[in-house]
Structures are given as structure tokens and as C-alpha cells.
Amino acid sequence: MRAEGIEVLALTAGEPDFTPPRAAEEAGIAAIREGRGKYTPASGTQTLREAICEHIQQDIGLSYAPSEIVVTNGAKIGIAQALLALVQAGDEVVIPTPSWTSYPEIVGIADATPVLVPCGPDHLPRVADLEAARTPRTRVLLLNTPSNPTGVVYPEATLRELGEWALAHDIVVLSDEIYAALTFDGAVHRSPLAVVPGLRETSVWIGGMSKAYAMTGWRMGFLAAPEPLAKKIGALQSQLAGSPCAISQEASVAALREGAAEREAMRAAFESRSQLVVEGLRAIPGLECAMPQGAFYAFPSLGAYLGKTEPTTGRRIDSGDDLAELLLELDRVSFIGGGAFGKPDAFRLSFAASEEVLREALRRIAARLATLS
């Protein structure tokens, strides 16, 4: 539609509508001008790996040495490479749902089997459900806090239970904490690797520059793992992708060391938008939406609107995907139906858009839902 010149209010983006910290841009430009766009060590420069260790220590409370860090071309390929190093054909990877759309696909690429386990109504995984899904082939538990798409931040008690369960059954936790810096409303991000003694020695921590520093296109992720595993993942990366982008690595050092104020300004903006969006959604009778505690998404359930019909088109709304199609076609508002995340009766609204766009989109959603019967 956009390509045809039709204006759409897009609440689909998985990337911040902000610019990277100024220091990152300057460092990137300097690296280009001064001719440092060369290959680097395959697991990333020593300087960046040191900056990442400082960052993980300060923000997450975990101690790693630079030799335990692999800088990757975005967190996504970091997750894929970690899985390639960890699983063999037929191994199972447990993914609590709703979850980020890419997880099951990436697990499949690693030749393993994704085992989707629905969370409880609070969007938190329950150990009893994980235990019911466990088999002798269960190798990895993929966790994501703060969560895309639900915005839930796992409480420490949940992390402890999940981590202890994983440790007791020799299951590696792949902990995707890419939204760690973006929490709201007093919610505190904790890593299962910091909460459960011993888990750091078996597991993989995933982070990156895309979300917290608005550097999606710079393709910078990083992971931390015990040295033998980090070496194995680094060796894989060296053959698959080679070294990560030299320019982005210099920019990332500057962002991590000098970008705190801009990161905080962005977090605060997302926090205030989260209030605006959830208040708007909760004002719509019959729609249910938990307050996100982190990331930048709201994930309402259709509630009373399931099974209703839009009178002018005669279309029935049986899922969040149906609603997404309807709103795009009739109201020029786009968002993502919950099917992609493993919860078809929900839909995801990204608040990586201006308050003006968010207000108008909410107005159109409310008006359209009011016509369903």
C-alpha cells in the first residue's frame, strides 16, 4: 500500500524510531574516514569485547572475560550460531510461547525440533508445563525477557524455578536479553544466569545493539558463553560470516561507553508511550491488555470481539490476523496478528511510532471494533 502512495499508520516495527547515540555515529564516521574498515578477529575486536564485558557486568551483574564473548552480525545470527554449536539433528529446543517469530525457524535451520510450550495467562512459562514437554532429547530452553511480543519481564522467582529446572536436567538456557535495557514502571530486569548459581557455566547469554541503542541496521549482536563454547561458536562464525563489520564494532564501543543518556531518553519515551497505548486499549470495552513491563510492544487479546462480524464486508473476526487484515484494508492501520507469535487470539502493536500516530491508530481501532457485531 505504501508503495502505491497510500498512507498507512504502521504499528508493526520491531525497531526503535530513534537515532543511535551521537557518539556511535561519530565513531563510525571516524572509522570509515581513517581507513579502519578492515577485517577484525572473527569473534570481534578486543576493545569491543572488553566494552561488552563491562556492559554485562554493570547492567546484568554477570562477570565474563573477553575470551568468553563473541560479537555477531546481529543477535539473530548469534542465536543461530549458538544453536548450531549446541544441537544435533533430532534434538529438541523448548520455546515458551507467545514468542518471537524467528525462534522456531532458527531452531529448524539448526536441524533441531522446536517444542512450543504455551505460557500461563500471565505470559510466564510454568515449570510443570516444561516438565511435561521434556524428553530425553530436550537440549535447550530458549528464554526471552523482556519478551517480544508480550512485554512481560520475568520475575526473579520464575527465573529461579526455570533455571533450576534446566540445570537439574542438563538443559542449556539460551537467554535472549536483547531488550534488557528497556524496562518500565519500576520493573527490574534480571538474567536467569545471574539468578541461578551454576547456570552461567552451562548457558548462553544473548544481547545486542539493535533495540537499546537504536542500531538495528548496524547489525551488531553479542553473546557470552563459557570459553570452550564461545570458541566453538567463534569458529563457526569464522567460517560462516567471517568477522563482524569493523565500522559497526567501533560505533558499538562508543555507544556502550558514551550512549547511556540517549539510551535512557529512548527508554523513557517508550515508557510513556506504553501508558498511552495501554490506556487507549483498555478504554475499548471487551479488549484485554496487560501492561507491558519492557521492550516496546503491547499484546492485547481480542476477548469479546472473537467471532464477531464486520457489517459492511461481512467478514468474521476469528483471530488477531483477521483483525490485522481488516484494519489494514478499511482503516489503513497495520499491526501484526498473534498467529506469528503462537497466540492467534491476540495481536501485537509496536509503539515505535510517534504519540500522534499512536493516538490516531488507537482511535481507528476503537472505532472499527465498535462496529463489529
Ligand X SMILES: Cc1ncc(COP(=O)(O)O)c(C=O)c1O
User: CA 83, CA 79: separation in Å to the nearest integer?
Assistant: 6
β-pair type (113-118, 92-97) = parallel
With CB under 6 A as the contact rule, the residue among 20, 44, 192, 208 that binds ligand X is 208
The region of 30-38, 71-79, 193-201, 347-355 touching ligand X under the rule CB under 6 A is 71-79
Torsion sign across C-alpha atoms 93, 97, 99, 101: positive
Q: Which of 97, 150, 183, 210 binds ligand X (CB under 6 A)?
A: 210
- Please tell me whether residue 76 binds ligand X under the rule CB under 6 A: yes
In the shown chain, the binding pattern of residues 274 to 303 toward ligand X, with x for contact by CB under 6 A and - for none, equals ------------------------------
Q: Which of 67, 216, 238, 275 binds ligand X (CB under 6 A)?
A: 216
Single out the segment in contact with ligand X by CB under 6 A; choices: 41-49, 68-76, 252-260, 310-318.
Answer: 68-76
User: In the complex with ligand X, which residue's Cβ is closer, 208 or 259?
Assistant: 208
Give 250's Cβ-side CA count (13 Å radius).
Answer: 18
Select from 40, 43, 138, 148 the one that contacts ligand X (CB under 6 A).
148
**Closer by beta carbon to ligand X, 96 or else 208:** 208
Q: Is 151 in the site for ligand X (CB under 6 A)?
A: no
CA distances from 126 to 97, 131, 142, 216 (A): 11, 9, 14, 32
**Judged by CB under 6 A, how many residues of this single chain contact ligand X?**
13
Q: Which of 152, 173, 178, 204 binds ligand X (CB under 6 A)?
A: 178
Residues 86-115 that bind ligand X (CB under 6 A): 100
For helices 355-371 and 260-282, give the axis angle rounded to 10 degrees: 20
| Residue of the chain from 221, 292, 337, 342 that contacts ligand X (CB under 6 A) | 221
Q: Name beta bridge partners: 117.
A: 96
Q: In whole angstroms, what is the distance from residue 91 CA to residue 113 CA?
A: 6
Beta pairing, strands 347-350 & 297-298: antiparallel
Q: Measured from the CB atom, is 245 or 317 closer to ligand X? A: 245
Q: 14 to 43, contacts with ligand X by CB under 6 A?
A: 14
Among 40, 43, 138, 144, binds ligand X (CB under 6 A): 144
Do the Cβ atoms of 224 and 230 come closer than 8 Å? Answer: yes
Contacts of 184 (CB under 8 A, 6+ apart): 267, 270, 271, 274, 292, 293, 294
Q: Cell numbers 520455546 label which residue?
A: 95
Residue 176 contacts ligand X per CB under 6 A: yes
Which residues are near ligand X by CB under 6 A? 14, 74-76, 100, 144, 148, 176, 178, 208, 210, 216, 221
